[in-house]
Structure 1
Amino acid sequence: MGSPDTLVEVWRGPFAESVHSGHAVICDGTGQIVQAWGDPAAVVLPRSSSKMIQALPLLTSGAADAVGLDRRRLALACASHQGATIHVEAVADWLAEIGMGEDALRCGPQVSRDDDLRDAMIRANEAPCQLHNNCSGKHAGFLTLARHLGAGPEYIEPDHPVQRAALEAFEMTTGETSPGFGIDGCSAPNFAATMQGMARAMAWFAGANTRSDTASQAAARLVEAMMLHPEMVAGEGRACTRLMRAASEPVALKTGAEGYFVAILPRRGMGIALKIADGATRASECAISAILVRLGVLDPANPEVQAFLNPPETNRRGIVVGDIRPVSGLADGGGV
């Protein structure tokens, strides 16, 4: 991996106490680099930022239409959701409609990240289940595809038809042969790509509504679903949801673990991929906000944007002692 560039600084009083470096690439509709920071050839696992790619075969196979999935559930198939009641109930209903239950999932249980639901479950002495897993929507999509294909129940195995279809979609959209995969937190394979490859894939999604082939029509439906239902993609308080709502033009945003973030800009036919080298979410949220401010997609004065672009650092008495900020010039470089 080539050298990353410093993208985010953490200030305490007059001192830059910490810095976060990373890679970021903006691609146009031809897959060419418009602007980049760090190493566009760096090979990285995109983690959950690749979920809309993993969801493509759900539509291209006809499985989604065969069971009548609406746009809310298509957004959920691309989600790293909060595990709030709206997410848990939606996945449970989806599974019931395809004749399956929570036990068919292979993502593992996870404590809800929704404070109200988590606290209510603790008071009721209720244990979290797989429905609360932030990837349960993606896995409901995997199950729907496996059922449609008549494939076996272990849909997370790398040689399963579901994962072979996901790899085919991944290599088609990135324009690369993936060098391999790691096993994600939800037990599914997560395929690696270069930073340019992921930005190219997001640009391909961004231009999908201008093309008529089956894969592009499927991609356009997924992007539309994410933009129409940002609450299903992440949840209240989360960067993906809040920044999609705050944007001045339609944009689909998707975070990934270990400091990954992607953006799809349909009006511009552009895609963005971002990776913070040390995996810090605070830095990936700041840096993606800065790049979107740079492009004029986000208003830096909007409090929803400020919450991620320049969040304050407070001490235990609630006193503001510093802030997190993009490096000079990242957000205000005059566009690209």
Structure 2
Amino acid sequence: MTNPIPMAEIWRGEFLENVHLGHAVICDDTGQIVEAWGDPEAVVLPRSSSKMIQALPLVESGAADKAGLTEEHLALACASHNAAAIHIDRVQAWLDHIGCTDDDFRCGPQQPRDTEIRNQLIRAGEAPCQIHNNCSGKHTGFLTLARHLGAGPEYVDIDHPVQQAILEAFEDVADETSAGFAIDGCSAPNHASSLHGMARAMAFFAAADAGQGQRAAAAQRLRQAMVSYPELVAGEGRACTELMRATQGRVALKTGAEAFFIAIVPERKLGIALKIVDGTTRGAECAITAILVKLGLLDPKHPATLKRMNAPIRNWRGIETGSIRPAAGFCES
């Protein structure tokens, strides 16, 4: 087994204070590894980075078209959103359209990440609802598919038709049998794969075209929805949104909990999967940014780049105390 390698460093003054280790794989549409760091066969839980895979059955089954879903809906199905008004208003309208309510969700309530909505709830003395969960768009997609299939209400159960369809899609695009599953923060099963498998899956999304069959057509639509509406996939200030904008739609990006990140690069038919082993988001954001810069997909001087790679760290008085930067030797030409 290959050990994880240094990917991001935290400097305080002239001292190297911390190092984030990780694994990453770049894969082409034939399933071959183009470049890898660490152990490409490390078994991982991709968490929310797998949301576009979880949305495949929604589209390929015909449920999305039957419900009249737009690109905005599909972007929300792939989202880990801030629960800003642009997110929850659209999810609520979608719920209303399919005849469901907040009580039909199985994701659980979550404090909104969006400051304005969170403060509104506090001022009103109200608790957050399930619609405020960052995964409520994905779960509305699950509900839409469950109703299309005529399946029962417990759509997060592993033996539910929705989850069985997702498992089949996951193993197909990853081109491997899943090692098992764990329960995600939103209560849905999250299937394990090798890092190489996730990169293969993302390369499938990168190469997908409408003329290649139902699954590929669904993947192309989901990929396009993400780059068309980056603000719905995450939200203002978030890495997914800002980096997709910075690449001008050339790359679809999705973060996952515990420092996972994927990238889909259609123009090169490449998929990227990355995991920082200590679970620190700042390390994953720095590392994926460095890979995109290395590939020439991201301007090293773009503000979204500089926010995450070679970025200053400041204390509470605004004094620059250090920086976060790619580890020496990582992603260097």
TM-score, shorter chain, exceeding 0.5 = yes
Aligned partner of 1:261 in structure 2 is 261
Give the letter aligned to residue 175 of structure 2: G
Instruction: State whether structure 2 residue 10 is matched by structure 1 residue 32.
Output: no
CA contact (8 A) 1:249 1:297 kept: no
Aligned partner of 2:133 in structure 1 is 133
Instruction: State whether structure 2 residue 110 is matched by structure 1 residue 123.
Output: no
CA–CA separation in structure 1 for the residues paired with 2:21 and 2:94: 40
Give the letter aligned to residue 38 of structure 2: G
CA deviation vs aligned residue, 1:285-306 (integer Å, no higher than 9, x gap): 0000000000000011111211
CA–CA separation in structure 2 for the residues paired with 1:210 and 1:139: 25
- The alpha-carbon deviation at position 33 of structure 1 amounts to 0.3
Aligned partner of 2:223 in structure 1 is 223
Aligned partner of 1:61 in structure 2 is 61
- The alpha-carbon deviation at position 210 of structure 1 amounts to 6.8
- The alpha-carbon deviation at position 2 of structure 1 amounts to 3.9
Q: Please state whether the residue corresponding to 1:309 is helix, strand or coil.
A: coil
Aligned partner of 1:85 in structure 2 is 85
CA–CA separation in structure 1 for the residues paired with 2:145 and 2:245: 30
Structure 1 residue ranges (4+ consecutive) displaced by more than 3 angstroms after TM superposition: none
- Map 1:1-336; keep pairs closer than 5 Å: 2-209=2-209, 211-248=211-248, 250-333=250-333
Query: Could you tell which deviates more after superposition, 315-324 or 288-297?
Result: 315-324
Q: Please state whether the residue corresponding to 1:278 is helix, strand or coil.
A: coil
CA contact (8 A) 1:248 1:297 kept: no
- The alpha-carbon deviation at position 248 of structure 1 amounts to 4.9
- The alpha-carbon deviation at position 313 of structure 1 amounts to 1.2
Q: Please state whether the residue corresponding to 1:34 is helix, strand or coil.
A: strand
CA–CA separation in structure 2 for the residues paired with 1:328 and 1:219: 36
CA contact (8 A) 1:294 1:330 kept: no
Give the letter aligned to residue 54 of structure 2: Q
Give the percent of matched residue pairs that are identical in Structure 1 and Structure 2. 63
Give the letter aligned to residue 292 of structure 2: L
TM-score by length of 1: 0.97
Give the letter aligned to residue 78 of structure 1: C
Q: Please state whether the residue corresponding to 2:80 is helix, strand or coil.
A: coil
CA deviation vs aligned residue, 1:124-143 (integer Å, no higher than 9, x gap): 21211001100000000000
RMSD: 1.0
Query: Could you tell which deviates more after superposition, 109-118 or 210-219?
Result: 210-219
CA deviation vs aligned residue, 1:238-286 (integer Å, no higher than 9, x gap): 0000000001551100000000000000010000000000000000000
Query: Could you tell which deviates more after superposition, 310-319 or 212-221?
Result: 310-319
Give the letter aligned to residue 23 of structure 2: H
Give the letter aligned to residue 133 of structure 1: N
CA–CA separation in structure 2 for the residues paired with 1:245 and 1:299: 12
CA contact (8 A) 1:23 1:39 kept: yes
How many residues are paired up? 333
- The alpha-carbon deviation at position 232 of structure 1 amounts to 0.5
CA–CA separation in structure 1 for the residues paired with 2:288 and 2:210: 25
Q: Please state whether the residue corresponding to 2:209 is helix, strand or coil.
A: helix
CA–CA separation in structure 2 for the residues paired with 1:130 and 1:250: 33
- The alpha-carbon deviation at position 28 of structure 1 amounts to 0.6
CA deviation vs aligned residue, 1:104-131 (integer Å, no higher than 9, x gap): 0000000000112112221221211001
Q: What stretches of structure 2 of length at least 5 have no aligned partner?
A: none
CA–CA separation in structure 2 for the residues paired with 1:15 and 1:328: 14
CA–CA separation in structure 1 for the residues paired with 2:5 and 2:168: 31
CA contact (8 A) 2:227 2:249 kept: no
Residues 40 and 211 from structure 1, CA distance in 2 versus in 1: closer, same or farther, beyond 3 angstroms?
Answer: farther
Q: Please state whether the residue corresponding to 2:79 is helix, strand or coil.
A: coil
TM-score by length of 2: 0.98
Q: Please state whether the residue corresponding to 2:24 is helix, strand or coil.
A: strand
